[in-house]
Amino acid sequence: STSTSTPPHLQSRMIDTEAFITSLGRATGHEKDLAAFAERWVYGRGCSRLTLAWRYLKKSNVIELALRQEGGPSVLVAAKKAAQQRSRSEVAGRGVKILLFDADEGEQEVMIEEMGAETDLLYRQIPVTLKPSANTRKSRQSRK
CATH number at residue 84: 2.60.40
Q: Is 138 domain-assigned?
A: no
Q: What is the pTM of this model?
A: 0.50
Domain assignment present for residue 142? The answer is no
Domain count, the chain: 1
pLDDT in tens, the chain (144 residues): 445 666 676 667 677 778 888 888 888 888 888 887 787 777 766 667 778 888 989 899 898 988 887 877 777 777 777 777 766 655 555 667 788 887 777 888 888 766 666 777 888 898 888 765 555 445 455 555
Q: Classify residue 38: in a domain, yes or no.
A: yes
Domain that holds residue 29: 14-130
pLDDT at 132: 59
Long-range contacts of 1-8 (CB under 8 A, 24+ apart): none
Does 9 reside within a domain? no
Phi, psi of 122 (to 5 degrees): -135, 135
User: Residue 97: in which H helix or E strand, if any?
Assistant: strand 96-101
Task: Report if residue 48 sits inside a domain.
Answer: yes
Residue 4 lies in a domain: no
Do residues 34 and 91 lie in contact, with contact meaning Cβ atoms separated by under 8 Å?
Answer: no
